[in-house]
Amino acid sequence: MRDWKRLTGTVADVDVEWDVPASRLNTFRVGGTVRCVAHPRTEGSLKNLLKALKAEGLPWSILGNGSNVLLPDGVWDHMVVLLDRCSGRLEWPQRDGRSGTVRVGAGMKLAQLLRMCVRHGWSGLEFLAGIPATVGGAVIMNAGTRTGSVEDVLERVRFLDETLDERTATRSELSMGYRSGGIPGGAVVLEAEFRVVAEHPRLIAQKIAGLMRERHRSQPWRWPSAGCVFKNPPGRSAGALIDQAGFKGYRVGDAEVSLLHANWIVNRGRATRDDVLCVIRTVRDGVRDRFGVDLELEVRVLE
């Protein structure tokens, strides 16, 4: 067992939780126990903490809302770092007539960002409605739906690179693509700036409500999940391939391929990580055997 208490005692302005149920940290509501969860209070303390972890070669992961990850079962002797207390601010720095930009900390949840957009009368980010992520996770994954994606509205992003030096990149400097924000590997997003336009708050709220109704009709919100499990192959729908291969309703333990949307695996109660991984392997093998298509995971499996 690693000496996390000694390490965290050397870094100021970091709140620490011990032996945290992993189910609290991901929307799948699976996993065992995370040994250490750290909440840096400032960007400075975040950087100092990551430097200390790097110097000692200790394992760590940044998590947002845990909406696109699968955490281990058992005791995970690992540090999970959350940005909710050091990177959750929001600013409206620029405005030119009806258009402007909003600058948002990486730790802010998208639902909170949208509530602020309604309050201030800024439109353009409604496509994020219903995505249970933080801003940082949304940028890294280039989150989106059929109505839009982060790359359509991103102006610039500020992040710590793998050497923990602070950098800023504009949208044109990032090679963004399907479910990829083009952020360098090992980087930690601190803040993102998005383009918005002025609109009446009531109209923005109506757009968001309409998108949420559509998502609830087509997606299995009743049960915990990580959203779409597989990326769509070029020109194909992963959900359609899984459905046509006959896997809707396929279940291992409490992990089940949703009857409503075949690209969602839902936790019907007490699913384990192994249950979910077993379903993933079976579905991938079945789709490969039937259609010759290798489905690529969208969910990150953390070790």
Residues taking part in catalysis:
179, 228, 298
Tokens of 203: 């109209």
Place of tokens 């200390």: 52
Q: What is the largest CA-CA distance in the chain?
A: 57
Number of C-beta neighbours around residue 124 at 10 A? 21
Give the list of residues 6+ apart from residue 121 with CB closer than 8 angstroms, or none: 198, 199, 200, 201, 204
Q: Are 280 and 263 in contact (CB under 8 A)?
A: no
Strands (E), 97-187: 99-105, 122-123, 144-145, 148-149, 154-160, 166-170
- Helix pair angle (110-120, 201-218), 10° resolution: 150
Handedness of CA 58, 64, 69, 75 (dihedral sign): positive
H or E element in which residue 50 lies: helix 43-56
Cβ atoms of 80 and 38 within 8 Å: the answer is yes
Place of tokens 């980010």: 125
User: Three-state DSSP class for 99?
Assistant: strand
Residue position matching structure tokens 């009709």: 217
| Contact yes or no for 295/233 (Cβ under 8 A) | yes
First to last CA, the chain: 16
Secondary structure (3-state) at 285: helix
Contact (CB, 8 A) for 137 and 143: yes
